[in-house]
Each structure stands twice: as structure tokens, then as C-alpha cells.
Amino acid sequence: MPERYFITAIHTDSGKTLVSTIFAQALHADYWKPIQAGYPRDTDTVMPFLQNKKSRTHKEAYLLQAPMSPHAAARLEHVEIHPATILMPETDNTLIVEGAGGILAPISDEYFVIDIAKKFDLEVILVCNIYLGSINHSMLTINELKRRKLKVKGIVFNGPENLETEQFILKHSGYPCLLRIKPEKKITQEIINRYAIELLANLNLPSEKQG
Ligand SMILES: Nc1ncnc2c1ncn2[C@@H]1O[C@H](COP(=O)(O)OP(=O)(O)OP(=O)(O)O)[C@@H](O)[C@H]1O
Ligand SMILES: C[C@H](N)[C@H](N)CCCCCC(=O)O
Ligand SMILES: [Mg+2]
């Protein structure tokens, strides 16, 4: 069974698409954004950076026009999102699945983004940003992941280095740090490849699992 990861974060605009790109390029994995609200499509942002022979991207289950919470964007189009209607793309490759917003961003009146990870038994990768107040947002997210008994692979820190913040979150979550991403002037192929190499070293994968 190939590995399947769910990239989520403590907020929206946290760098999930960036982290998904780094993971997909590092692992030569496929990418899938099941629910997209607004443009540009995250898939179109990721695709040009997947410079390897194996990665491909998969079509969204729901592609909504408005850059809003998925439940609200869906309502505008008289669509109701239900996790049961979302089918896993057919692939034998490692799959990177990107959420929308944070774990409790609603996809309908009843369901949240994190229900997709639960439904497909995906291993969660949590992006924690670094800002004043991000310890609280990170711990709330981590507590909810634990309460819902999600499998968590680890944390990616995104933002200016703050070891005090990072160590607190790691100690209290018990999750490992998979990668640290600094604020970059521009996201280029070189930057994606550099973080992809760093990620592989941190994951310490045997070479046959590296795509
Ligand atoms: N470390 C970083 N350095 C420079 N730019 C960054 C960094 N992290 C994120 N960004 C930029 O911030 C913006 C938001 O990031 P991104 O699109 O990855 O967020 P997201 O969590 O995927 O949002 P959404 O919830 O809409 O899917 C993008 O333009 C991205 O390139
Ligand atoms: C449109 C935006 N960029 C994201 N894709 C969706 C963010 C949903 C946030 C919902 C919320 O928590 O209020
Ligand atoms: Mg995104």
C-alpha cells in the first residue's frame, strides 16, 4: 500500500501548497487537492515544480469558484459537499493530499476538512507557522488531531526561526519536526529542490522509497 499523506495547517495561507510541492517533489509523489475554493488552483501552482518522471496531479473532487470557506463557496453554487462522494484517485504512487484552510475549516454544515483525512486514513503532516500567537493555534490544532485519533507523521515549521516556539510545540505534541522552511524572497525550483533534499535527509528514507 503506497503512503498517503494529508497536508494540513494551523491556518489558511500557511504554506500547505508550498509544503505539498516540496513533499511531492522529494518523494516523486502524486498531488491531489480534493476541494479547491477559488483561483489559481493549487494544482496549477504545484504542477510546474514537479520536475521528476513519476509525479502527476489529480483532478479536484470539488472545484468551487469563490475564494471562501468551502462550505460557503459550495452553497453559492448550490452544491453540497459530502465526504462520501469524494473518491480516492487511482494511483499506485505515494499521494500528497492537500486540505483547505485549517483542520476545522467547514466543507458543509456537517463536515470539516479533517474528515477527509479520517475517511481515507491519511497520515497527517501539520504545517505550523511561526508568529506571535502560533503556539496557541498549533496546540489547539494538535489537541484536536489527538482527540480525533488522527495518525500524525510530524510537523513542518514555516516562518522565521524561533527555537523556543518550535521546542515547546514539539515537546508538548510528541510529534517530530520533519522540516523547517524559512521566509523566502521567491519560491523557485531551486528552493523547492533544496527543501526536498533536506526533507529526504530528515525522513531518512531508504533509497528505494524515494521514488
Ligand atoms: N516560507 C515561505 N516563503 C515565501 N513565501 C511563502 C512561504 N510560505 C508560504 N509562502 C507564500 O504564501 C502564500 C500562501 O501559501 P500557500 O498557498 O502555500 O498557503 P496554503 O496554506 O496552501 O493556503 P490555502 O488554505 O488557500 O490552500 C503563497 O503565495 C506562498 O508561495
Ligand atoms: C479560500 C482560501 N484560500 C482557502 N482555500 C479556504 C480557507 C477556509 C477557511 C475557513 C475558516 O476557517 O474560516
Ligand atoms: Mg493551498
Chain segment 71-99, per-residue pLDDT in tens = 999 999 999 999 999 999 999 999 999 99
CATH T-level assignment (fold) for domain 4-209: Rossmann fold (3.40.50)
Report which ligand 2 atom has the smallest distance to the Cα of 104.
12
What is the pTM (predicted TM-score) of this model?
0.97
pLDDT at 209: 55
> Of 6, 11, 12, 18, which is best to mutate to test ligand 1, by the most ligand atoms within 8 angstroms of its C-beta?
18
Q: How far is the CA of 150 from the centre of ligand 1 (A)?
A: 24
Spans in the chain with pLDDT lower than 70: 205-211
User: What is the per-residue pLDDT for 185?
Assistant: 98
> Which residues, at least 6 apart from 113, have a Cβ–Cβ distance to it below 8 Å?
8, 35, 70, 99, 100, 101, 102, 103, 104, 105, 106, 107
* Global ipTM: 0.98
Q: Using the mean position of ligand 3's atoms as its centre, give its distance from the Cα of residue 207 in Å.
A: 29
Rounded to whole angstroms, how far apart are CA atoms 115 and 117?
5
Residues of each annotated binding site for ATP: 13-18, 98-101, 184
